[in-house]
Structure 1
Amino acid sequence: MLNQLNLAIVGHANVGKTSLLRTLTHDSQFGAISNKPGTTRHVEAITFALEQHHKIVFYDTPGLEDSITLYDYIERLNREYPKRDGIDKLNAFLASPEAEHQFEQEAKVIRQLLKSDAAIYVVDVREPILDKYHDELAVLAQADKPILAIFNYTSSSSPYEDDWKKLLSRVGIHSIIRFDAVFPSIEGEVRLYQSLSLLIEPAKAILNQWQTKIEQQRINRNYSAKLLIAEALVDVTAYNEIVKDNLDDSVLLMQDQVRKREQKAINDLISLYQFSVSQETSENMPILQGRFDSDLFNKEALKLMGIHLGTGVVSGAAIGAGIDLAVGGITLGSAALIGATIGGLAQTAKHYGKRIKNKLSGHTKMTIDDAVICFLSLRLIQLKESLNLRGHANNTPIILSKLDESAWKKGKLPKSLQIARAHPNWSTLNHHKIKKHDEQRQEVLVNVANELE
């Protein structure tokens, strides 16, 4: 039984070897990816410790760039020694001067392959069968190592898949799975490790441990993401401003504070899933309709809703339903999110004029509207679900689908979150000292996280 499983990721240049490793290790920063050939110039290892002192080590190797010339060179080198087997031939090549010069990159691959327990051969299934692939596989087969072939870039159909299966079979490679590194599935990852377990029987215990570890990591990541969202929601729900004058300025202040808090939640989620925070998304958002109770709204939003304020109202503000975050769009990485409006605008400003004037007689407590927080919650949950399914080799912008308006216009907060309204000292957005580790606050965070699905 093995204590350490060494897996060499091999294949031609630009077939997605580093991309595959980014996805399998759930790390978008591993290695370098480029459309230019020869991006990976050295063998790079990434090691994972498991239980019982077991380890699994992935080796990202350079691409085999000149396999036709390499195969001919190895055959010429061993022509006088017909009884040499494949491993002897490869060792003779590694001892030759050309292994340090013309075939330096190929030598790195072969050297690592001979030291590994098995290889994962990555195929760009969109490519037609060329002579270079015949010779490449002939060289790799001489190492006498178990090889699992992975058909990469399978998100779209390819006319060459059957041809690749025939070629691999002719060199003795019968273990083949389809696994797209850019658009992976959890089921595909499970099949990959199950296939390796059958191929490398002594490594079965290590691979079982590895699968258990990555499944537990997936569960832990998802729960940690829900806690991050819950923390943001508690911050925004408990946030308030007590003002008497300069209501317009207070609107802008609250907008800015909540904008920054959402951006922090976005960045925290992206970092948790080990993606780059430079990934961006954009989506148009409709204007929210919130509750009409005791909050502040911007006059521009009133105009958008067709409401005209009369005299006697503080310029640019009205007391009403809450601050609406959803004018404009959301961009991950730039936080273009928040505008202000008022909720419950089916009525006219005249109907509420007296209530507004009365509110202005003293200090006003401004909070964020329920519907807004509900909308914010759904946006962050949607981002979490997108990251749960996203491959770490995927460099395209994170685009979130449109939300169902009926889901957030109802504007009902989770019951577990409502208590935060009464605890402004739970919010990092407020000016007083926050009780971040308050026992009741921590309990609420857990309860909100459990309600988020």
Structure 2
Amino acid sequence: MSISLLVVGHANTGKTSLIRTLLRQQNFGEISNQAGTTRHVESVAIKVNNKTLLTLIDTPGFEDSIGLWEARQQAPFDQYPGNRWIAPFCQSHLAEDHFEQEAKILKQLNQCDIILYVIDIRQAPLGKYLDELTLLASASKPIVPILNFSASDSVHLASWRQVLAERHLHAVVRYDSVAFYFEDEKRLYQSLQSLMPDHYDDIETLLISREEAARSRKTFAIDNLANLLIQAASSRKVCDRYPPAPDDATAFEQQIRQLESQFIHSLLTLYEFREEDVMPAAFSVQSGQWQQDIFALDTLKAWGVSTGASAMTGAAIGAGVDVMTGGLSLGAATSLGAILGASWQTGRHYKDTLKSKFTKRHYLCADSATLSLLCLRGLALIAHLDQRGHASQRAFTLNKQDDNDTNKTIINAIKPLWKKARQHPEWATQSLPANHALKAAMTEQLLEIAKNH
């Protein structure tokens, strides 16, 4: 038998949100800022290897707990000790009238193993909440208080802890259903283990499964970012003039945008989120690109990325591309240094890919500014999705500016690897295997960065 967890609390404290985040599903129940959104009881299972380990039961919120407590103390219900008042109350006209929603909760109390009492710690521990705790305690079932919306500091936290301690509820769990932290979920499962020792091994299996899944998601996300950087760095477009025609520059920019767009969608699928969760109107995917365009100077500046002296000028400034020549020997290319000017300074390491200006062929390649931006935005998106609860209703905008010194440290660690990728245009359309030397080195470096930053 699985452990039955009854999720209860006052209206609009985040009960359904808690279940969504525990399930890693956005489609469970209905969420709204209006009180009383959940109007019926709904259960769902958490399984490992097709075995149900936990059954979560969502309930309507308490709407008039003060009135319910007063009714409990009046005849005929005051004559029943302990939990014996619940059945006759649920059969009374009160349960069909004023306390219809509360009765739905009461009917589940005798059938559950543990009560998860969800608290919105942005609210003070008012009398109505205390009455709810007293009513629930009469069911003689273990109660685990869940402190929701705990990612931000609350002036009411100490008061809630005192109130709960006075009621001998010491196994309190902080669990924010919006800003997800796996360590909080781990403590929840550990609390269940202490309350249900006969199910200890099953819960441990669930906990190990969740930890492995989290590690796997992070590793796969970083692998996708490594693919993005390698493919973007090795991408080229042949042009027959310098500076390139606007159509050539536009086509190449779109090619890089499409790579990032594919990366975004792969992460959203991996973490089971929707496009609108991380891309609001000010930062949405339109025609395959993010509105905060990676080729806009303002975007580069917002992330503390410098285009450098060799970036293209004129209409293409901020386009994030280097105009490179290809095909000459290093000696012949050196003699063209004065002709090529600034672009030669960024292109010296291209050795076997330099081509004489006189052949009328040139390459467009992603420059360091563009690759830096792709790297930083990719890491930021992974960090966000890794800690985003599936109940979050606020769209994430990936346009904040991180610490510039930290960004420089990150880029300096990755840049030598994408410089090597630039010399292999055949990688632009490939997904290198995990054991490929460069791919493995970049993945390892990105994992270390994600761990430390």
TM-score, normalised via structure 1 length = 0.75
Shift in Å, 1:412 = 5.8
Shift in Å, 1:411 = 9.1
Structure 2 residue 219 is matched with structure 1 residue 223: yes
Structure 2 residue 137 is matched with structure 1 residue 122: no
Shift in Å, 1:107 = 2.0
Mean Cα displacement is larger for which, 385-394 or 88-97?
A: 385-394
Structure 2 residue 106 is matched with structure 1 residue 106: no
**Contact persistence 1:9–1:122 (CA under 8 A):** yes
Structure 2 residue 241 is matched with structure 1 residue 241: no
**Residues of 2 paired with 1:353 and 1:219: CA distance?**
42
Matched ranges for 1:61-100 at <5 A = 61-76=59-74, 78-79=76-77, 82=79, 84-100=80-96
- Residue 95 of structure 1 aligns with an amino acid whose one-letter code is Q
Shift in Å, 1:443 = 7.4
SS at match of 2:147: strand
**Residues of 2 paired with 1:155 and 1:440: CA distance?**
36
**Residues of 1 paired with 2:238 and 2:88: CA distance?**
81
- Residue 235 of structure 2 aligns with an amino acid whose one-letter code is Y
SS at match of 1:10: strand
Partner of 2:127: 131
SS at match of 1:65: coil
Shift in Å, 1:193 = 1.9
* Distance of aligned partners of 1:204 and 1:419 in 2 relative to their CA distance in 1, 3 Å threshold: same
Match of 1:389 among 375, 383, 387: 387
**Residues of 2 paired with 1:128 and 1:446: CA distance?**
51
* Distance of aligned partners of 1:361 and 1:304 in 2 relative to their CA distance in 1, 3 Å threshold: same
**Contact persistence 2:7–2:56 (CA under 8 A):** yes
**Residues of 2 paired with 1:416 and 1:123: CA distance?**
48
**Contact persistence 1:20–1:181 (CA under 8 A):** yes
Partner of 2:54: 56
Partner of 1:311: none
Structure with the largest fraction of helix: 2
* Distance of aligned partners of 1:242 and 1:348 in 2 relative to their CA distance in 1, 3 Å threshold: closer
- Residue 408 of structure 2 aligns with an amino acid whose one-letter code is S
Shift in Å, 1:11 = 0.5
Match of 1:422 among 421, 424, 434: 424
Partner of 1:452: 446
Match of 1:299 among 291, 310, 314: 314
Matched ranges for 1:189-200 at <5 A = 189-200=185-196
Mean Cα displacement is larger for which, 51-60 or 191-200?
A: 51-60
* Distance of aligned partners of 1:101 and 1:376 in 2 relative to their CA distance in 1, 3 Å threshold: same
**Residues of 1 paired with 2:423 and 2:213: CA distance?**
33
CA deviations over 1:128-154 (Å, ceiling 9, x no partner) = 333322322222112221101122233
- Residue 132 of structure 2 aligns with an amino acid whose one-letter code is E
State the percentage of identical aligned residues.
Answer: 30
- Residue 63 of structure 1 aligns with an amino acid whose one-letter code is G
**Contact persistence 1:151–1:180 (CA under 8 A):** yes
**Residues of 2 paired with 1:398 and 1:50: CA distance?**
34
Match of 1:204 among 194, 197, 200: 200
Shift in Å, 1:54 = 4.4
Partner of 2:14: 16
SS at match of 1:220: helix
**Contact persistence 2:355–2:361 (CA under 8 A):** no
**Residues of 1 paired with 2:161 and 2:272: CA distance?**
34
* Distance of aligned partners of 1:417 and 1:7 in 2 relative to their CA distance in 1, 3 Å threshold: farther
* Distance of aligned partners of 1:171 and 1:95 in 2 relative to their CA distance in 1, 3 Å threshold: farther
SS at match of 2:110: helix
CA deviations over 1:311-349 (Å, ceiling 9, x no partner) = xxxxxx994499xxxxxxxxxxxxxxxxxxxxxxxx998
Partner of 2:350: none
CA RMSD of aligned residues (A): 3.8
Shift in Å, 1:250 = 0.8
Q: Which runs of 5+ in 1 are unaligned?
A: 306-316, 323-346, 429-434
* Distance of aligned partners of 1:73 and 1:442 in 2 relative to their CA distance in 1, 3 Å threshold: farther
Q: Which runs of 5+ in 2 are unaligned?
A: 284-291, 293-297, 327-336, 348-353, 448-453
SS at match of 2:55: strand
**Contact persistence 1:291–1:370 (CA under 8 A):** no
**Residues of 2 paired with 1:122 and 1:135: CA distance?**
14
**Residues of 2 paired with 1:180 and 1:353: CA distance?**
50
SS at match of 1:133: helix
SS at match of 1:107: helix
**Contact persistence 2:355–2:362 (CA under 8 A):** no
Partner of 1:333: none
- Residue 210 of structure 1 aligns with an amino acid whose one-letter code is L
- Residue 314 of structure 2 aligns with an amino acid whose one-letter code is K
CA deviations over 1:188-226 (Å, ceiling 9, x no partner) = 222222222212222322221221111111101101101
Shift in Å, 1:164 = 3.2
* Distance of aligned partners of 1:173 and 1:451 in 2 relative to their CA distance in 1, 3 Å threshold: closer
**Contact persistence 1:61–1:109 (CA under 8 A):** yes
Matched ranges for 1:214-293 at <5 A = 214-244=210-240, 247-278=245-276, 279-280=278-279, 284-286=299-301, 288-289=306-307
Mean Cα displacement is larger for which, 33-42 or 372-381?
A: 372-381
**Residues of 1 paired with 2:17 and 2:127: CA distance?**
25
CA deviations over 1:240-269 (Å, ceiling 9, x no partner) = 222326632111111112112212212322
* Distance of aligned partners of 1:409 and 1:69 in 2 relative to their CA distance in 1, 3 Å threshold: closer
SS at match of 1:252: helix
**Contact persistence 1:54–1:206 (CA under 8 A):** no
SS at match of 1:59: strand
* Distance of aligned partners of 1:71 and 1:219 in 2 relative to their CA distance in 1, 3 Å threshold: same
**Contact persistence 1:290–1:372 (CA under 8 A):** no
SS at match of 2:18: helix
**Residues of 1 paired with 2:357 and 2:413: CA distance?**
23
Shift in Å, 1:170 = 5.0
| Equivalent pairs, count | 403
* Distance of aligned partners of 1:321 and 1:131 in 2 relative to their CA distance in 1, 3 Å threshold: farther
CA deviations over 1:141-185 (Å, ceiling 9, x no partner) = 122211011222334444444443444345553432333333343
* Distance of aligned partners of 1:247 and 1:161 in 2 relative to their CA distance in 1, 3 Å threshold: closer
SS at match of 2:444: helix
Partner of 1:153: 149
**Residues of 2 paired with 1:53 and 1:379: CA distance?**
39
